[in-house]
């Protein structure tokens, strides 16, 4: 979920003392002041920063005055929405006021400026900007919720229907089968399909738990991560005998974790490496317990993830990576793995470049007990 950014306010004045005084007057928690001594510096700041809540512009500046700067701000699609307040120590010329409002200003103030009046005006724009950020965040969350709900419907109508139809078809063959020697093969087909279906259902249940409870519940216990990782590597070797897998553990790999959930993480990341990694490159699994506060698990495989997919790699039902009806999964493995790591107070990072992809899972040895965790 995206967090609301702090408020940014641009102050432009060629007199340094005025910049210091305005910042001191308007200073409050959650507000970042961008100070410029000239219009040129202001333009550089506008290029570096997005989502500025308000700009306070001095009118009388050398080289480029406040009106010219305002015209450039209003001429850019990125900055034309920024509210502008002009300030001037000049005489009360009505033409200046008209020129200021024509430049898109929301107010025109003469120095010396009343501190209470300026604070009240600025607070209004800060609050409006904060409300705008909150609305944008709510829209993003509801859009994502709608997308996930639509994918749920696609799963129910396509992905789960396919293995169910396979089970029904195999059961019909069993019913008509007269050759007992083929019963074992058909039974194994039913078992394999039902297990794949059960994994899909469990992934959907995990998604529901994450969305409704705000995270996964953990059963924490003292354990050693090394045997768990070694078992996962051995399982992968048996399932993919043609692949080369290297495993190495070092240091203290003890901690307090949910072993069942971490086995799910390792299985998901290993499965991702086997499925999408280069078949002619080895898979390397390294468990590092040399740090006192955390254990780091790294899984590296050949191949590079397209840069266009990296921003959405840990999103549920990743678009473009799967289509409804595909049998290899629901696109939930990496998302659930990330949520499990976060529930432990850890993280998962991915680096993919120059023909190598590396997933790094960092796990604190003593996760903090949170509301979503059941600590044993």
Same domain, 232 and 298: yes
Write down which residue in 198, 213, 228 finishes a domain: 213
pLDDT at site 100:
64
User: Would 155 be classed as within a structural domain?
Assistant: no
Decide if pLDDT at 176 tops 90. Answer: no
User: Would 52 be classed as within a structural domain?
Assistant: yes
Same domain, 224 and 367: yes
User: Would 179 be classed as within a structural domain?
Assistant: yes
User: Would 80 be classed as within a structural domain?
Assistant: yes
Decide if pLDDT at 327 tops 60. Answer: no
Are 10 and 55 in contact by the 8 Å Cβ rule? The answer is yes
pLDDT at site 325:
41
User: Would 144 be classed as within a structural domain?
Assistant: no
CA 67 from centre of chain: 40
Same domain, 364 and 246: yes
pLDDT at site 320:
42
pLDDT at site 166:
75
Strand-pair category, 356-364 with 294-302: antiparallel
pLDDT at site 321:
44
Decide if pLDDT at 10 tops 80. Answer: yes
Decide if pLDDT at 328 tops 70. Answer: no
Most confident of 124-128, 174-178, 297-301: 297-301
Mean pLDDT of 209-226: 79
Alpha-carbon gap, residue 288 to 363, rounded angstroms? 11
Same domain, 233 and 363: yes
Same domain, 230 and 363: yes
Q: What is the CATH classification number for the domain harbouring 32? A: 3.40.50.2300
Same domain, 109 and 199: no
Decide if pLDDT at 162 tops 90. Answer: no
Same domain, 228 and 168: no
pLDDT tens-digit series, residues 234-271: 888 877 878 889 999 999 999 999 888 898 888 889 88
CA distances in angstroms from 137 to 18, 103, 134, listed in the order given = 35, 31, 5
Mean pLDDT of 328-355: 83
Question: Which residue range is the domain that position 75 belongs to?
Answer: 7-137
Decide if pLDDT at 205 tops 80. Answer: no
Mean pLDDT of 336-364: 91
Q: pLDDT band at 175, cuts 50/70/90?
A: confident
Decide if pLDDT at 306 tops 80. Answer: yes
The count of domains in the chain is 3
Same domain, 285 and 362: yes
pLDDT tens-digit series, residues 89-147: 765 555 666 666 666 678 888 888 888 888 998 999 999 999 988 898 888 878 877 77
Helix segments in the chain, DSSP class H = 16-26, 39-48, 66-74, 94-102, 115-154, 161-176, 183-213, 225-239, 259-276, 333-343
Q: pTM of whole model > 0.75?
A: no
């Amino acid at each position: 979920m995206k967090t609301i950014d702090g408020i940014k306010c641009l102050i432009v004045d060629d007199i340094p003392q005025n910049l210091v005084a305005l910042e001191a007057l308007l200073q409050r928690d959650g507000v970042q002041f961008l100070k410029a001594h000239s219009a040129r510096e202001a333009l550089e700041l506008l290029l570096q920063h997005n989502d500025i809540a308000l700009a306070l512009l001095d009118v009388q500046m050398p080289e480029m005055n406040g009106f010219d700067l305002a015209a450039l701000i209003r001429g850019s699609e990125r900055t034309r929405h920024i509210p502008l307040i002009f300030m001037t120590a000049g005489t009360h010329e009505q033409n200046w006021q008209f020129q200021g409002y024509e430049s898109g200003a929301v107010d025109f103030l003469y120095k010396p400026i009343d501190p209470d009046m300026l604070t009240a005006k600025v607070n209004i724009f800060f609050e409006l900007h904060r409300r705008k950020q909150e609305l944008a965040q709510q829209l993003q969350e509801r859009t994502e919720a709608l997308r996930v709900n639509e994918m749920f419907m696609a799963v129910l109508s396509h992905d789960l229907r396919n293995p169910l139809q396979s089970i029904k078809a195999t059961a019909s063959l069993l019913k008509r089968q007269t050759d007992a020697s083929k019963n074992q093969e058909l039974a194994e087909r039913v078992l394999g399909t039902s297990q794949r279906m059960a994994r899909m259902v469990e992934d959907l249940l995990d998604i529901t738990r994450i969305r409704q409870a705000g995270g996964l519940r953990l059963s924490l216990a003292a354990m050693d991560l090394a045997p768990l990782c070694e078992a996962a590597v051995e399982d992968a070797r048996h399932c993919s005998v043609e692949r080369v897998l290297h495993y190495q553990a070092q240091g203290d790999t003890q901690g307090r974790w949910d072993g069942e959930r971490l086995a799910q993480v390792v299985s998901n990341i290993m499965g991702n490496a086997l499925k999408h990694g280069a078949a002619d490159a080895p898979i390397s699994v390294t468990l590092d317990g040399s740090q006192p506060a955390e254990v780091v698990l790294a899984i590296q495989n050949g191949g590079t993830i397209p840069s266009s997919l990296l921003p959405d790699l840990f999103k549920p039902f990743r678009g473009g990576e799967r289509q409804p009806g595909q049998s290899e999964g629901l696109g939930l493995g990496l998302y659930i793995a990330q949520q499990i790591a976060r529930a432990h107070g850890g993280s998962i990072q991915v680096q993919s470049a120059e023909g190598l992809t590396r997933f790094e899972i960092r796990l604190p040895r003593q996760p903090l007990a949170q509301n979503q965790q059941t600590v044993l």
